[in-house]
Amino acid sequence: MPLKTETMILNMGPQHPSTHGVLRFILRTDGEIIFACRPDVGFLHRGLEKIAEQVAYAQFTPYTDRIDYLAAMNCNLGFAMTVERLAGVEVPPRAEYIRVLVAELNRIISHLISVGAFALDLGAVTPFTHALREREWVSDLFEELCGARLTYNYVRVGAGWPLTCPRASWTGWPASWTTSSPG
Amino acid sequence: MVYHLHSLALGHRLTLKLRLERPAPSLASVSDIWAAADWMEREAFDMFGLRFDGHRYLARLLLPEDWVGHPLLKDYREEAEYHGISTTREEAAPAVSAGED
C-alpha cells in the first residue's frame, strides 16, 4: 500500500549558511523533491540611488565602497569617472596610473576571495586560507595608501586625495608577490 | 523606457525608446521573449510603478510588498513611518559646499 504524501511549503532563509548573504527561498516540496521555488530578494537593498539624490557628489563616494565591498576601488572608480565625465573634468596622468594600479590590485584580491570561496563550496577548505594569506600583501599596501583594508573610499571625484602615496613599500612588490606564492 | 538589444548571432545592435504617460504608465511585457527581462521588469515596477501587461508575476522585487509608492519617481515622497519605524531623521547631515576640501 503506497504511503499517503502531501506537498508542503518550506521557507528557506533569509538567514541560511548556504546562501552567502540574506536570501529567502519559498520552496514547495514533495518529500525530498523541490518542484517549485520562488526567490525573495531585497534584504540587502539599501536604496543607494535614492541616497545619491540627497547628498553632494563627493559625499556619495563612501557608499560606492559598499556596492561591491570586495572591489571598492573599482566601484569608487566607476562613480568618479561618471561624475568627471558629467563635469567635463580630466584627472592628471599620475592619478590615472595610480587608479589603474589600485583597480587591478583590487581586482586580483577580489578574485582570490571568489576562487577561494568557490573551492570552499566544493568542500576544499585549505585553498581559502591560501587565498586570504595572499590578500594580506595587497591589503597592507591599501592600508598604507588610505587607512582602510576593505572599504577604501580612495578614488575620489577629480582624483583629489591623497596622491602622496604610493611610497617606498610599493616598489619591488610584484616580484616578491609572484615568487612567494606557492600557488 | 529604453531597450538595448544586441544579436549575438548577427552582431546587430538596436536601441528602442518608448515614451510613457503618467499617471498610470503601462506597456507590454517582453519577459516571455527574454526570460532575463522578468526581474528587470519587476524592478522597474517596484521603483517606477510601470505596469507590464502579460508579466507572469509582477510583484515588487526589492521593496517589501506593502511598501507605499515607487521611490525612484522624482515626485516620490517617503512616508514618515513604516510599521511604526521612523524613516526620517530630524537633522540630516549638511551637504558639503562647493569649493571646500
Q: Which residues span the domain enclosing A117? A: 48-180
How is residue A155 annotated by DSSP? S
Local confidence band at A5 (pLDDT 50, 70, 90 cut-offs): confident
Structural domain count of chain A: 2
Tens digits of per-residue pLDDT, A120-149? 989 999 999 999 999 998 998 888 888 899
Cβ contact, residue pair A56, B92, below 8 Å: no
Interatomic CA distance for residues B32 and B10, integer angstroms: 21
In a domain, A149, yes or no: yes
Portion of chain A with pLDDT greater than 90, in percent? 53
**Pair (A61, A125) in one structural domain:** yes
Nearest to B47 by CA among A62, A60, A66, A48: A48
Residues from chain B contacting residue A52 (CB–CB below 8 Å): none
In a domain, A18, yes or no: yes
In a domain, B9, yes or no: no
Cβ contact, residue pair B61, A41, below 8 Å: yes
**Pair (A53, A73) in one structural domain:** yes
pLDDT at A155: 92
**Pair (A143, A169) in one structural domain:** yes
**Pair (A151, A84) in one structural domain:** yes
Tens digits of per-residue pLDDT, A31-46? 889 999 999 999 888 8
pLDDT at B86: 86
**Pair (A85, A25) in one structural domain:** no
**Closest chain B C-alpha to A118 CA, distance in angstroms:** 24
**Pair (A72, A144) in one structural domain:** yes
In a domain, A3, yes or no: no
In a domain, A35, yes or no: yes
Nearest to B67 by CA among B45, B88, B51: B45
Mean pLDDT of chain B: 89
In a domain, A56, yes or no: yes
Structural domain count of chain B: 1
Q: Which residues span the domain enclosing B48? A: 22-86
pLDDT at A115: 95
In a domain, B61, yes or no: yes
In a domain, A2, yes or no: no
**Which value does ipTM take for this structure?**
0.72
- The interface residues of chain B toward chain A in range 28-67, judged by CB-CB distance below 8 A, are 47, 60-64
pLDDT at A183: 46
Residues from chain B contacting residue A47 (CB–CB below 8 Å): 71
Residues lower than pLDDT 70 in chain B: 91-101
CA distances to A71, A73, A176 from A104, rounded to whole Å, are 10, 9, 17
Residues from chain A contacting residue B69 (CB–CB below 8 Å): none
Residue of chain B whose Cα is closest to the Cα of A48? B72
> Which residue from A45, A49, A56 is facing B95, i.e. has the nearest CB?
A56
Asked whether the predicted pLDDT for residue A164 surpasses 60, the reply is no
In a domain, B80, yes or no: yes
Interatomic CA distance for residues A24 and A29, integer angstroms: 15
Interatomic CA distance for residues A119 and A32, integer angstroms: 26
pLDDT at B92: 61
